[in-house]
Amino acid sequence: MSPQRVRFGSGTIAELAAEVERLGGTRVAVLSGPALSDLAHQIGHTLGPLGVAAFGKAAMHTPVEVTERALGLLRGRDVDCLVAVGGGSTIGLSKALAFRTGWPQVVLPTTYAGSEVTPVLGQTEYGQKHTITSPDVLPESVIYDVELTLDLPVELSVTSGMNALAHAVEALYAPQADECTERMATDAIARIAFGLPLIADCPTDPGARAAVLFGACQAGCCLASVGMGLHHKLCHTLGGAFGLPHSQTHTVLLPHVIAYNASAAPDAIGLVGKALGVPDPAGGLFDLIVRLGGPTSLRRLGMAECELRNAAELATSTSYPNPRPPTTDDVYGMLRAAWSGDRPTVPAPADGWERTG
């Protein structure tokens, strides 16, 4: 039996209490971040006597001290099941609590981060973000309700969509990639690139929201099934050690990493271009981000210029698979370009992006 049950649709939140009961939950804690505390409160209310606690202070990058604080509070209320409503930060808190307690989780994603379908937990302690991969953190139940995403501001929709796109892009050149990952990743890229401009025009368009949410689920499945490369390493470094915001950092860096890896993974990068529908996968993605009003410079995200070399050294201090081996100097050069907001470019090969192998 699959260790995870996924529901997708509109109004699916109505199935929440039944999912909790299916998992044997009798005393539920509802987790959220500060921005969604009203929604969390409503959810607690609809759970009736099942809802016994709430914790509304989930924070970006899952700081261990926040998890410990929540754990103390929820143990005091004899909680035996978690319901998380929110983005990757709230789902991260839920995973961190489940890892420590074994409590089952029902999660209601409201962004496109994709954490809900991965057995991965990233948590931050002493200024560094560490990753744990364990079946114990995979939520038992995911309820995608498109209606919960209609209020996600356009700016966050764009950056969160780019976060999802990054999972799919890096899956295409991962060493474990196979035909199945390739199809799922290219499909995810196409759905997200189709849906985001429609969301920018009409944020409450349910069809566009459903396309991007489904693409994000597919991209999350890619993240769950293969290892990520330089792009994710850099984003973890800039988030964990320099406090940069997660999805915005993904948005700024992705076109640059695509350009960096293009010569070493031409087939994979060609598939990215085809799925995006552009001849230049790096420049075309950069242009899409600009058109959607997304961020294009690390400087604008608050990164200090004097920290760029430090970040490049940290991101290259351990080895991980990446098509083009990342050297500190090369990564520093790329970070500088991303800091300045330069437009990267990958010229299409003379014979196009058709695969030859």
Site residues, ligand NAD (CB under 6 A): 33, 35-36, 60-62, 86-90, 92, 110-111, 113-115, 118, 120-122, 148-149, 151-152, 156, 160, 163, 223, 246-247
Residue whose CB is less far from ligand NAD, 129 or 191: 129
Half-sphere exposure of 242 (CA within 13 A, CB side): 25
- Shortest distance, position 114 Cβ to ligand NAD, whole Å: 5
Residue whose CB is less far from ligand NAD, 149 or 296: 149
Residue whose CB is less far from ligand NAD, 115 or 337: 115
- Shortest distance, position 9 Cβ to ligand NAD, whole Å: 16
Residue whose CB is less far from ligand NAD, 186 or 251: 251
Taking CA atoms, 203 is separated from 164, 192, 353, 354, in Å, by 18, 14, 33, 35
Q: Which residue is nearest to ligand NAD (CB)?
A: 88
- Shortest distance, position 32 Cβ to ligand NAD, whole Å: 8
- Shortest distance, position 123 Cβ to ligand NAD, whole Å: 9
Residue whose CB is less far from ligand NAD, 121 or 276: 121
The SS3 assignment for 114 reads: coil
Whole-angstrom Cα distance, residue 33 to residue 56?
5
Question: Do 30 and 81 contact (CB within 8 A), yes or no?
Answer: no
Whole-angstrom Cα distance, residue 82 to residue 36?
16
Q: Which are the contacts of 65, defined by CB distance < 8 A and separation ≥ 6?
A: none
Question: Do 256 and 295 contact (CB within 8 A), yes or no?
Answer: no
Residue whose CB is less far from ligand NAD, 236 or 256: 236
- Shortest distance, position 15 Cβ to ligand NAD, whole Å: 19
85 token code pair = 């409503």
- Shortest distance, position 71 Cβ to ligand NAD, whole Å: 18
- Angle CA 206–209–210, to nearest 5: 85
